[in-house]
Amino acid sequence: MTSTPHYRELRAELESLTTEAFRPELSEIDRLPTLEIARLMNAEDSTVPAAVAERLPEIAAAIDAVAERMARGGRLIYAGAGTAGRLGVLDASECPPTFNTAPEQVVGLIAGGPGAMVTSVEGAEDSPELAVRALDELGLTPDDTVVGVSASGRTPYAIGAVRHARALGALTIGLSCNEGSALAAAAEHGIEVVVGPELLTGSTRLKAGTAQKLVLNMLSTITMIRLGKTYGNLMVDVRASNDKLRARSRRIVALATGATDEEIERALEATDGEVKNAILVLLAGVDGPEAARLLDASGGHLRAALTASGAAGSQS
């Protein structure tokens, strides 16, 4: 079959992308012993953190901007297709149990809808209109942040999401793995983590996917730190929704306060199981309602609430 001009153009565009580059030195990889392939793959993966490190200033600037918006009640919304979209949904889904965020506070949109998490939805990534429709259904506001995620940096769904969000005054971030990407150009904050060609030509679920996961980890985790969702490196807003997390909650209170098991149980009972409140009860010597009042007045920041209470441990 003869290629149409449209597909010849797309092929040329793909060939210009670093993430799509062919590596002739790996053309016989299928002939190698399994251990040697594993070593090659591991060596490739080890280069990803260095590529992310080169973009830390841009990542930090984006995080500060996200935290400022979220402190005003805004949402963090990821938009992507395929692997990129799945990684956004994954990061969003882990925020409620980790940081006790509301389900609508961090949202993952994937081209093709929720079903695309497990089954490829052909053509969905090529439609910026689908992204616009999904964002409109969320009722996007200027306090929200939209993060377009695309390894190539050319996915119409991710670019469409960012362009539409920016036109509505929302904060926009474009995360890609190629320099000079259309996605980064469309966003207020462009983050281009260049990981180089993949072990398998064009398989961006590998290094590019790992890089995207690392950056999304930073975006959500450090934003939550800035919002007071942690006390030091303790997850004091953890939602104790199962036995493991209930045990973790008690361990967090113990690490933060040094209290006995009996004291911890009393504090958690007095605060309806809220870890942050229980820590404040123990460190500031206040009751449950006063702990809730202090935290509310401090915007949920435990250190600020401790300072307001006059607790000696407020700077620990």
Whether 94 is catalytic: yes
Boundaries of every domain in the chain: 48-226, 243-315
Half-sphere exposure of 274 (CA within 13 A, CB side): 17
20 pLDDT tier (thresholds 50, 70, 90): confident
Domains 48-226 and 243-315 share a fold: no
Cβ–Cβ under 8 Å, residues 234 and 258: no
Geometric angle at alpha carbon 281, from 279 and 282, rounded to 5°: 65
pLDDT 10s digits, 263-274: 999 999 999 999
Cβ–Cβ under 8 Å, residues 79 and 85: yes
Q: Evaluate whether the domain defined by 48-226 bears CATH number 3.20.20.70.
A: no
Please give the order of strands across the beta sheet that includes 145-149.
106-110, 76-80, 145-149, 171-176, 189-192
Pairing of strands 106-110, 145-149: unpaired
Cβ–Cβ under 8 Å, residues 146 and 75: no
Active-site residue, selected from the candidate residues 94, 188, 265, 290: 94
pLDDT 10s digits, 44-99: 999 999 999 999 999 999 999 999 999 999 999 999 999 999 999 999 999 999 99
Supply the DSSP symbol for 302: H
pTM of the predicted model, to two decimals?
0.90
Block residue for tokens 């200033």: 57
Note the pLDDT of residue 2.
47
For residue 251, the tally of other CB atoms under 10 A from its CB is 13
Note the pLDDT of residue 18.
85
Task: Give Cβ neighbours of residue 168 (< 8 Å, ≥ 6 apart).
Answer: 135, 140, 141, 142
What CA–CA distance (Å, rounded) separates 181 from 167?
Answer: 19
Active-site residue, selected from the candidate residues 44, 58, 125, 274: 125
Note the pLDDT of residue 315.
47
For residue 36, the tally of other CB atoms under 10 A from its CB is 11
pLDDT 10s digits, 5-14: 666 666 666 6
Note the pLDDT of residue 242.
86
Find the helix packing angle between 261-270 and 275-284, rounded to 10°: 120
Q: Reduced to 3 DSSP states, what percent helix, strand and coil does the chain have, rounded to the nearest 5?
A: 60, 10, 35
Block residue for tokens 């904060």: 171
What CA–CA distance (Å, rounded) separates 307 from 315?
Answer: 8
Supply the DSSP symbol for 71: H
User: Which one of 3.40.50.10140, 3.40.50.300, 1.10.730.10, 1.10.8.1080 gives the CATH number of domain 243-315?
Assistant: 1.10.8.1080
